[in-house]
Amino acid sequence: MTVHSLGVKVSCDGPDDETDCPQSAAIRASFTSLTATQVRADGRRDGWVRRRHEGRLVDLCPDCKSASPPGDDRERL
């Protein structure tokens, strides 16, 4: 038997630590994207960002990135 990875799912971490993403958003990965890095690249085309927030990296959908609290919001790739 051969096992193949089905890829990864990257979902939105919500606008802050206490609030989940209201849309339960997840990045729509292209068929060829199998790693988290590839999926995040797909998301950047749709307006997603990865930011450092309170000492950790979070993935934010376009709606939550505008609603996220101020702080260390430098975008990461």
Output the DSSP codes for 6-61.
Answer: -----B---SBTTB--TT--B----TT--SHHHHHHHHHHTT-EEEEETTEEEEE-
pLDDT the model gives residue 17: 84
Q: Which residue has the higher pLDDT, 71 or 45?
A: 45
Q: Which residue has the higher pLDDT, 54 or 14?
A: 14
pLDDT the model gives residue 75: 52
pLDDT the model gives residue 71: 54
Which residues have C-beta within 8 Å of that of residue 46, sequence separation ≥ 6? 27, 28, 62
User: Global pTM?
Assistant: 0.76
Tokens of 67: 């609603």
**Residue 66 near residue 51 (C-beta atoms within 8 A):** no
pLDDT single digits (tens) 26-70: 998 888 888 899 999 999 999 999 998 778 899 999 999 888 765
